[in-house]
């Protein structure tokens, strides 16, 4: 066996190990939730029986045959089709939504704590810097990086109960006032954030190493370039707050993101599946 073949086997085995580690963590529901879920399951079964009796056509012998009644399509990475309801496969809590046009692209669809929908193409700013497409991210902040601790790994800590207050105190962010909002029937707070730093208090070395840009990082898996504008919404969901973030590099871009994301958020269902 040659070096090239052996290295290939090692990498594929490592990819398998990595994949198994990325399976979503089980979330144990509370006892009351279990009872409610049991009741809901019974109700759902009754509904399924009722719906299947409606969704039938006679076969050649005149017997009723079930016709598939597709609802949500599982969400995989790639371009999204307008008008189709997509349902996440790994994110906790499960999400489902519909996009209104064909500019959306799904990324990170296999993570239990992060989902990224990008809109449009990357572009160049007047200084020639390449900027990523605008994005709509869904995240659960279970951990954050404390900007006052020097070493990145040492700075990892459990997410604070008041995430908004923690973000306001972050030296790499300028956080606006929060407004009460309701998304998918869940109450929460929405506010604007400007990422602004000369030298980030919480730098993320891999950004420089892999993409030749400087970033700050807030939580594992979330790293943001200087100048990024965000509109964040923190919803009070279980097991952790759900953070919905719109991002772009310009105010006009963020406004456009708000417009194109509006149908997605209006169609959003949380905790389906």
Partner 1 sequence: MQSDEDLLLSSDPEAFGRFYDRYVEMLLGYFARRTHDPEAAADLTAETFAAALAARRRFRRASTPAAAWLFGIAQHKLADYGRRGAAEDRMRRRLGIARAPVGEEDVEMIALLGRDAAWRLIDELPPEQRAAVRAHVLEDRAYSEIALEASTSEAVVRKRVSRGLGTLRGKLGARR
Q: Which residues bind partner 1 (CB under 8 A)?
A: 2-4, 6-8, 10-19, 77-78, 105, 107-108, 110-111, 118, 120-122, 124, 128, 130, 132-133, 206, 209-212, 221, 223
- The CB-of-111 to partner 1 minimum distance in angstroms stands at 7
**CB 234 to partner 1: min, Å:** 23
Closer by beta carbon to partner 1, 125 or else 179: 125
Closer to partner 1 by CB, 178 or 224: give it. 224
The candidate with the shortest Cα–Cα distance to 204, out of 213, 192, 193, is 213
CA distance 159 to 16: 29
Beta-sheet pairing, 73-74 with 85-87: parallel
Smallest distance, Å, CB 77 to partner 1? 5
Please give the helix or strand (H or E) that residue 137 lies within, else none.
Answer: strand 134-140
Least gap, CB of 116 to partner 1 (angstroms):
8
Output 48 or 211, the one with its CB closest to partner 1. Answer: 211
Helix (H, G, I), strand (E, B) or coil at 31: helix
Q: Which is nearer to partner 1, 180 or 209 (CB)?
A: 209
Burial status of residue 268 (CB atoms within 10 A of its CB: 0-12, 13-18, 19 or more):
buried
Extended strands (E) in 23-131: 56-58, 64-66, 73-74, 78-79, 85-87, 95-98, 104-107, 114-119, 123-124, 130-131
Minimum CB–partner distance for residue 82 and partner 1 (Å): 19
Task: Name the residue nearer to partner 1 (CB basis): 62 or 126.
Answer: 126
């Amino acid at each position: 066996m040659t070096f090239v073949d052996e290295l290939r086997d090692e990498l594929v085995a490592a990819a398998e190990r990595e994949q198994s580690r990325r399976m979503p963590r089980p979330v144990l529901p509370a006892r009351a939730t279990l009872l409610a879920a049991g009741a809901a399951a019974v109700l759902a079964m009754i509904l399924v029986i009722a719906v299947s009796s409606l969704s039938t056509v006679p076969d050649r012998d005149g017997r009723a045959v079930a016709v598939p009644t597709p609802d949500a399509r599982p969400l995989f990475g790639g371009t999204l089709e307008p008008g189709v309801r997509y349902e996440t496969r790994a994110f906790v809590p499960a999400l489902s939504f519909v996009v209104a046009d064909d500019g959306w692209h799904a990324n990170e669809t296999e993570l239990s704590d992060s989902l990224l929908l990008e809109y449009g193409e990357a572009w160049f700013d007047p200084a020639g810097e390449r900027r990523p497409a605008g994005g709509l991210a869904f995240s659960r902040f279970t951990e954050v990086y404390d900007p006052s601790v020097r070493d990145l790994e040492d700075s990892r800590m459990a997410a604070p109960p008041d995430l908004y207050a923690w973000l306001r105190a972050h030296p790499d962010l300028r956080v606006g006032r929060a407004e009460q909002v309701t998304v998918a029937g869940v109450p929460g707070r929405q506010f604007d954030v400007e990422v602004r730093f000369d030298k980030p208090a919480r730098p993320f070395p891999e950004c420089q190493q892999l993409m030749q840009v400087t970033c700050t990082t807030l939580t594992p898996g979330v790293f943001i370039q200087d100048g990024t504008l965000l509109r964040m919404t923190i919803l009070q969901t279980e097991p952790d707050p759900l953070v919905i973030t719109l991002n772009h590099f310009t105010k006009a871009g963020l406004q456009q993101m708000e417009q194109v994301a509006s149908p997605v958020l209006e169609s959003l269902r949380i905790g389906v599946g």
